[in-house]
Amino acid sequence: MAENNIDDVRDALDDLLNAEREALLSGDLDQIGRMVSQKETLIASLSGADVSDITRLQQKLARNQILLDRALLGIRSVANRLGSLRRIRRSLETYDQSGRKSALDSTNQSRIEKRA
């Protein structure tokens, strides 16, 4: 692969990884999704590059992967919390005199009635 071409690809990937980091930090998951195919193409283009040329890029890739993992952990946490809130809304858990838990299911859905 020509040296100039490797430099161009490396610079483009570097810029893309910086943009990906910014998108991760701002929570723009749509933007991250749009970057995936471009990032895959650029990484594949570097397959013949010298290892010393891509060390900094590997560090940025690792950094962004950590940010992405944390974002996914946060999304899972929110989903779990929303699920818990839905369960709480549907039933009421209480304890009897002997300390056993019992649930009272709510069959009545709370509704808001609008009147003109």
| pLDDT at residue 64 greater than cutoff 70 | yes
| pLDDT at residue 27 greater than cutoff 60 | yes
C-beta atoms surrounding 1 within 10 Å: 11
All residues at 6 or more sequence positions from 80 whose CB lies less than 8 Å from its CB, including other chains: none
Crossing angle (nearest 10°) for helices 29-45 and 3-26: 160
Q: How confident is the model at residue 84 (pLDDT cuts 50, 70, 90)?
A: confident
Place of tokens 């950094």: 63
pLDDT top residue among 3 and 22: 22
